[in-house]
Structure 1
Amino acid sequence: SYVLACDDLVHKDAVAPISPYLTEFRLENGLPVWVFRCGGNVIEKRTCMVHLQNTAYITYTLLEGEGGRLEVQPAMHVRSHDDSLAGPPEEQYRWTGVEDGFELYVSDDLPVLKLVWNCGECGFQMKTQRLDNLRYRIEQARGYDWEGSLWSPGGFTGELRPGKSASLTASTEDWEKVRALSPGAAFAAELERKRRLLRTAPPEAREGFPAELVLAADQFLITPIGRTADQVRAHAVGDEIRTVIAGYHWFTDWGRDTMISLEGLTLSTGRYREAEYILRSFGNYIHNGLIPNMFPEGRTSGLYHTADATLWFFHAIDRYLQATSDWETLEFLLPKMVDVAEWHLRGTDFGIYIDQNDGLMVQGQDGYQLTWMDAKVGDWVVTPRRGKAVELSALWYNALRLLVEWLEALEDTRTDRARYLEWANRCRDSFNRRFWNSEKGCLFDVVDT
């Protein structure tokens, strides 16, 4: 990853930010805006990234004052997000001037970073420098290695005059894409895209703080990269592949997180088509009655060690149907969900099965964390919760009742609805009897451990 204009970095011994001239920060249409006051000059800084591109634009505009000479020193870090904050050795940084701007090469397994500087009387002063002893505050808060450095090739310079802007473009795309949009056109395109998102949102979510939430939700809806077979399968029937990323930048997409958040990220924001794509995508991922727990970074196949993600899938489908009445999608998914129920009844992977005596769900296998309490340190599963966890049986009951409703709604005569209703009733009766802790007036977390 490349880090430029790192206003949030401070010296490891400092107690105040490096930028004492910062007077204001705000979001406009989901895009960040900084305001700096230096003497009689007020400078506004804005950033945006082009949708579906690895291209960032940073602009500086003089709002007040006579202006003068502006110098922008990019400080960069090239590394995997889980590598050392020291970065690669300084001698690996290769800075080259080309016709359209500049290129930074570090290694063959990383893309070349292209930079373009647009400003009145543009210039560049070559002065390589390593900025050491920097505190990465987010890493520090998470308990990670937090002291590191950045590398700078020098400084871009130019004249900044009233009402005028200077722009720095940074991209790992090819030069044709970098040249396709000017900084002004890139900002205009992103603002138009965000306006479209708000137009599709419910009326009460198109202004103020609710609108900011709609725009924030957009960051987590992605097209996964590298799953070629999945994309081909989706495109063959006229669909797109979509998923929810669990959290930048340490996590990819997780089944549990996707199904729990689908309602808020897509249905509450009016993005019903993308909700459909997500449900259909995960319907195609089902294996032995389970949807993936996660997709490891850099891999195209998922890991299935989860007992609850598939049950949350039932919940997400239910919310989707309530919002859209899309029975065609239910027709596509229903045979898969019946198969999910059958796998659970006869037993599936990781010791996940339904107890034939009381109808409650059992889970547990050495070395795996299968519920939402999924902390693991090395080979140590911190909270295994093996046995019958309270929320799993509740979710299983919900899944069975929904399955019965869907079979009735589609008038499916090939499947024995009464059988699933009987299992649901058995689970309900056992749940009320087994999980209630009358002594403490609450539910047991796990029984039959």
Structure 2
Amino acid sequence: MSYLKFDKNLMINLEQSLSKEMLRTNQAGAYHCSSIVGCNTRKQHGLLVIPIPEMDNKSFVMLSSLDETVIQHGAPFNLGLHRYSGGVYSPNGHKYIREYDCESVPRTTYRVGGVILTKEMVFSSEENRILIRYTLVDAHSDTTLQFRPFLAFREANELVVQNDKLNPHYTEINNGVSFCLYPGFPTLYMQFSRKPVWVQNPNWYNGIEYVKDLERGIPYTEDQWVPGYFEIPIKKGESIIFSAGLSESSPRSFGKMYEIEVASRTKRTSFYNCLKNSAKQFYIKDKENEYIVSGYPWGQIRARDTFIALPGTTLAINHPDDFHNIMNTAWKALENYIDNELPDNRIHGIDLPDVPLWAVWSIQQYGKALGFDKARDRYLPIVAKIVNWILAGGHPNLQPETSGLVGTTSTNTPVSWMNATSNGWPLIPRSGLLVEFNALWYNALMFAYNLSEGVADYEHDRENWLIVAQQSKPSFIHTFLNDYGYLYDYVNGNHADLSVRPNMAIAIGLDYSPLDRRQRKGVLDVVTRELLTPKGLRTLSPKSYGYRPFYLGSPEERERAYHNGPSRPWLIGMYADAYIKVFGMSGVSYIDRMLIGFEDEMSQNCIGTISQLYDGNPPFTGRGAISQATNVAEVLRTLRNLKKLNA
């Protein structure tokens, strides 16, 4: 039985099926995303969404959807589904769905009278091309299929309305047609594995609504252009493959191309396999570099997210070569920043003050996974350069203090991962001495010290690193540990922020923590009591002022709630590390039970992955981006750690 299979009863119930989404990527930045019932519910949804380098690598929806129609005895049965103005759904093709299965590739089974038709989709890993295979499993009379493409040609975060600037002309190509609707866009090539009839019948379909955008209080209605339709007869037992891409291809190659892609897939038959597939979907590769995108469908390549997600999305699924490649790309960008050279424009936020500290943490996880000898041989120079650069005051916004701690300034720009803003100003003005910055700093000093043991070239540096670490440790305790047994979130001059936030979990989860075991346990107790949920750690305790557990409402309301209550799954990794450090092997079964809450998510929201955040109160509904790299990564890293402890 498939791990991800949904039957007719769920699929025809739009209240249930529209809330479940699916995502497929090709590691080149392109993706396909929609609801499992085939109705696009977000403006970012589409059958072929691609980055265009000439347009700042932003994602563009080229082919929004492809409506299929089954024709028998002259009667058409349209399998498509769209929402139009006023909440009207048409043409209600979901009523023909008998099953949706996503174990290997997304597979939808339709039944129209005596016709049984399956639809399966894969992305080409070699280029921005989607392949859809239609198989007529059963039919009792002659059957014809029609395919009506809905074209968007727009940036994924924008909407299009009916206009006269569109270029309606098409070019006939081998077994298909091509379009380029607007200047500056690439050409979209649509082809079939055997020759169809193309019928030019251009129309604007007006008032298409995206219900998820409506819920988010943002523009949600657009018009899409349908230039005509393909028509092709099909026999019982026959398969036809549709291809949409940015170049013309040989129709004869579609079958082999499809089979190769299917054979390379890891079947989603378990919690781990679902997350493994999800982890690989965050990879973005070009000719020279390899990156991690922060999430879908509106994520970017961000430096902080890259270093946090890197161990879990590579090492935890036994992909060390991808760790090397992504680290090489990210380090090159960070080193360029350190050396005041040209930045990598694809990586955002390389200048943020905690980025180099997370880079060291990422290398530390590499050492734990593959051995510190390998980490020393490959990455000790990087660790040393980062630590010495910070010590020398090289970072303009991470300055060492005489106490051994490091300070940062956040007056009009957020500097930590809690980066919500209102009218351009930080909603959580964390400035001065930040708890996780200083915990990461102490951890980096001690890791550098221990990693360089026995390496003669670093003897002088080691002495200096240890001296600063020995200064930092008591300063950290004096500055952050309060009489209530938890850690201040930040201290700025005479102001100590009393908010109970999950950044303290980072401080107790690191391998080298400034706190002893007793102090860690005290902090852990507070985190468990006030922040822990089945979906990660709350961003603010319900007992703290300003608690907003639900990520709902207008953009302004959601921004104010963003870091003031909703849970973040990625923090479960730090929590699990801290719990095991405090309770040892007796804590393993507890953490294992905690992960059940994430396994439940495999059939919710975006199936097979983990959402960006979850409401802080029951029922802990998933919100935000449908798939988040740091979340998937840290749950995977925790699973791997538990497996090693149980071995």
Q: What is the TM-score when the length of structure 2 is the normalising length?
A: 0.59
2:418 counterpart SS class? coil
Residue 269 (1) aligns with residue 307 (2):
no
Q: Which amino acid aligns with 1:352?
A: L
Aligned to 1:23: 98
Residue 243 (1) aligns with residue 291 (2):
yes
2:156 counterpart SS class? coil
Assess, with a 3 A threshold, how the Cα gap between structure 1 residues 372 and 79 changes in structure 2: closer, same or farther.
Answer: same
Assess, with a 3 A threshold, how the Cα gap between structure 1 residues 291 and 63 changes in structure 2: closer, same or farther.
Answer: farther
Using the alignment, how far apart are the partners of 1:329 and 1:93 within structure 2?
57
Give, in angstroms, the shift of residue 368 of structure 1: 2.1
Residue 50 (1) aligns with residue 50 (2):
no
Assess, with a 3 A threshold, how the Cα gap between structure 1 residues 374 and 261 changes in structure 2: closer, same or farther.
Answer: same
Using the alignment, how far apart are the partners of 2:411 and 2:162 within structure 1?
37
Q: Which amino acid aligns with 1:96?
A: T
Work out which of the residue numbers 264, 274, 282 in structure 2 matches 1:193.
264
Aligned to 1:446: 490
Could you give the per-residue CA deviations for residues 313-336 of structure 1, whole angstroms, max 9, x where no partner exists?
111111112222374564443223
Aligned to 1:236: none
Assess, with a 3 A threshold, how the Cα gap between structure 1 residues 444 and 93 changes in structure 2: closer, same or farther.
Answer: farther
Aligned to 2:307: 259
Aligned to 2:350: 304
Could you give the per-residue CA deviations for residues 188-239 of structure 1, whole angstroms, max 9, x where no partner exists?
11123225xx8xxxxxxx85332222122111112147xxxxx3xxxxxxxx
- 1:53-64 to 2 correspondences below 5 Å: 53-64=127-138
Using the alignment, how far apart are the partners of 2:162 and 2:324 within structure 1?
41
Residue 179 (1) aligns with residue 247 (2):
no
Q: CA RMSD in A?
A: 2.8
- 1:54-133 to 2 correspondences below 5 Å: 54-66=128-140, 68-86=143-161, 89=164, 91-119=166-194, 122-133=196-207
Using the alignment, how far apart are the partners of 2:486 and 2:241 within structure 1?
60
Give, in angstroms, the shift of residue 57 of structure 1: 1.0
Aligned to 1:279: 327
Residue 208 (1) aligns with residue 270 (2):
yes
Could you give the per-residue CA deviations for residues 44-95 of structure 1, whole angstroms, max 9, x where no partner exists?
1111111031111112111233261211111111011233343764633332
2:182 counterpart SS class? coil
Q: Which amino acid aligns with 1:445?
A: D
Using the alignment, how far apart are the partners of 1:320 and 1:409 within structure 2?
20
Give, in angstroms, the shift of residue 246 of structure 1: 0.9
Using the alignment, how far apart are the partners of 2:110 and 2:189 within structure 1?
27
Q: Which amino acid aligns with 2:264?
A: R
Deviates more, 1:62-71 or 1:184-193: 62-71
What count of residue pairs does the alignment treat as equivalent?
415
**8 Å CA contact 2:175, 2:196 repeated in 1:** no
**8 Å CA contact 2:411, 2:431 repeated in 1:** no
Aligned to 2:233: 159
**8 Å CA contact 1:266, 1:272 repeated in 2:** yes
Residue 218 (1) aligns with residue 269 (2):
no
Using the alignment, how far apart are the partners of 1:5 and 1:97 within structure 2?
19
Larger relative contact order (CA 8 Å, sep ≥ 6): 2
Q: Which amino acid aligns with 1:340?
A: I
1:78 counterpart SS class? strand
Using the alignment, how far apart are the partners of 1:87 and 1:361 within structure 2?
55
- 1:255-404 to 2 correspondences below 5 Å: 255-287=303-335, 299-300=345-346, 302-325=348-371, 327=373, 330-356=376-402, 358-404=403-449
**8 Å CA contact 2:117, 2:134 repeated in 1:** yes
Using the alignment, how far apart are the partners of 1:432 and 1:291 within structure 2?
33
Q: Which amino acid aligns with 1:276?
A: H
Q: Which amino acid aligns with 2:86?
A: D
Give, in angstroms, the shift of residue 187 of structure 1: 1.7
Using the alignment, how far apart are the partners of 1:442 and 1:103 within structure 2?
62
Q: Which amino acid aligns with 1:86?
A: V
Give, in angstroms, the shift of residue 432 of structure 1: 1.5
Could you give the per-residue CA deviations for residues 242-299 of structure 1, whole angstroms, max 9, x where no partner exists?
221112342221111111111221111111111111222222222487699xx89xx4
Assess, with a 3 A threshold, how the Cα gap between structure 1 residues 301 and 282 changes in structure 2: closer, same or farther.
Answer: closer
**8 Å CA contact 2:136, 2:237 repeated in 1:** yes
Residue 433 (1) aligns with residue 478 (2):
yes
Could you give the per-residue CA deviations for residues 129-183 of structure 1, whole angstroms, max 9, x where no partner exists?
111111224444554321112211111112222111222211112x2xx227633
Could you give the per-residue CA deviations for residues 74-124 of structure 1, whole angstroms, max 9, x where no partner exists?
1111011233343764633332223442110123311001111345x7322
Could you give the per-residue CA deviations for residues 2-55 of structure 1, whole angstroms, max 9, x where no partner exists?
1222767422423657323223222132x2111122122121111111103111
Assess, with a 3 A threshold, how the Cα gap between structure 1 residues 14 and 300 changes in structure 2: closer, same or farther.
Answer: closer
Could you give the per-residue CA deviations for residues 375-428 of structure 1, whole angstroms, max 9, x where no partner exists?
234532222311111111111111111111111164544443122112112222
Assess, with a 3 A threshold, how the Cα gap between structure 1 residues 139 and 76 changes in structure 2: closer, same or farther.
Answer: same
Q: Which amino acid aligns with 2:136?
A: L
- Gap regions ≥5 residues in structure 1: 199-205, 226-230, 232-240
Deviates more, 1:8-17 or 1:376-385: 8-17
**8 Å CA contact 2:81, 2:89 repeated in 1:** no
Using the alignment, how far apart are the partners of 2:427 and 2:163 within structure 1?
34
**8 Å CA contact 1:255, 1:291 repeated in 2:** no
Using the alignment, how far apart are the partners of 2:422 and 2:138 within structure 1?
54
Assess, with a 3 A threshold, how the Cα gap between structure 1 residues 326 and 242 changes in structure 2: closer, same or farther.
Answer: farther
Using the alignment, how far apart are the partners of 2:303 and 2:415 within structure 1?
12
Using the alignment, how far apart are the partners of 2:227 and 2:255 within structure 1?
26
Using the alignment, how far apart are the partners of 1:331 and 1:194 within structure 2?
33
Aligned to 1:40: 114
Could you give the per-residue CA deviations for residues 298-318 of structure 1, whole angstroms, max 9, x where no partner exists?
x45754331222211111111
Identity of aligned residues (%): 23
- Gap regions ≥5 residues in structure 2: 1-60, 68-79, 494-647
Q: Which amino acid aligns with 1:264?
A: G
Assess, with a 3 A threshold, how the Cα gap between structure 1 residues 317 and 133 changes in structure 2: closer, same or farther.
Answer: same
Using the alignment, how far apart are the partners of 1:411 and 1:160 within structure 2?
73
- 1:5-16 to 2 correspondences below 5 Å: 5=66, 9-14=82-87
**8 Å CA contact 2:353, 2:395 repeated in 1:** no
Using the alignment, how far apart are the partners of 2:449 and 2:163 within structure 1?
58
Assess, with a 3 A threshold, how the Cα gap between structure 1 residues 326 and 442 changes in structure 2: closer, same or farther.
Answer: closer
**8 Å CA contact 2:131, 2:241 repeated in 1:** yes
Using the alignment, how far apart are the partners of 1:416 and 1:304 within structure 2?
25
Assess, with a 3 A threshold, how the Cα gap between structure 1 residues 94 and 369 changes in structure 2: closer, same or farther.
Answer: farther
**8 Å CA contact 2:193, 2:252 repeated in 1:** no
Q: Which amino acid aligns with 2:388?
A: E
1:84 counterpart SS class? coil
